[in-house]
């Protein structure tokens, strides 16, 4: 039987906000919000002793998406095997794209009235949205 060596994971709660932001571009409050949104879909459903928490999966996914490095490097940084990092990224992205999360955060305009209300709101922010500018690039003023 193979002997598994488990490396110690970093304690998310022990990370300072500055460290968390420098590594993952989130602070503790944002991370807690993301975890709360995804916990039902991404929470561990196993009694195994070294299962990844939702928070840890989110951190692995954020690091992978932010850096674009291969999963092996992301796994090494978090003391996880490449296969665990791959599963964490996949499970987190599946949870982020689930209908419950998408419906909570993305809304499409479905009526002309709502589209016009949004246009008016943007117009008040930047009045130049409805203006058309013409620039003449000819040398002659009469062309």
What is the DSSP annotation of 22-83?
A: HHHS--HHHHHHHHHHHHHHHS-----TTPPPHHHHHHHHHHHHHH---HHHHHHHTT--HH
Spatial separation of the C-alpha atoms in residues 16 and 13, rounded to whole Å: 8
26-74 pLDDT, tens digit per residue, is 899 999 999 998 887 766 666 555 678 888 889 888 888 877 766 555 5
Domain ranges of the chain: 12-103
Query: How wide is the angle at C-alpha 24 spanned by C-alphas 73 and 4, nearest 5°?
Result: 40
More confident residue, 11 or 87: 87
Answer yes or no: pTM beyond 0.85: no
DSSP run (H or E) holding 2:
none
């Amino acid at each position: 039987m193979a002997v598994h060596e488990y490396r110690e994971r970093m304690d998310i709660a022990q990370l300072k906000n500055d460290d968390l932001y420098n590594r993952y571009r989130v602070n503790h409050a944002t991370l807690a919000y993301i975890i709360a949104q995804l916990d039902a879909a991404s929470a561990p459903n196993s009694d195994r002793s070294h299962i990844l928490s939702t928070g840890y999966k989110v951190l692995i996914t954020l690091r992978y998406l932010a850096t674009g490095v291969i999963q092996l490097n992301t796994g090494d940084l978090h003391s996880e095997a490449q296969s665990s990092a791959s599963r964490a990224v996949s499970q987190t992205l599946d949870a982020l794209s689930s209908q419950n999360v998408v419906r909570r955060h993305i809304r499409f305009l479905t009526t002309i009235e709502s589209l016009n209300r949004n246009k008016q709101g943007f117009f008040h922010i930047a009045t130049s949205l409805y203006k058309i500018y013409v620039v003449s690039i000819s040398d002659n003023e009469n062309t």
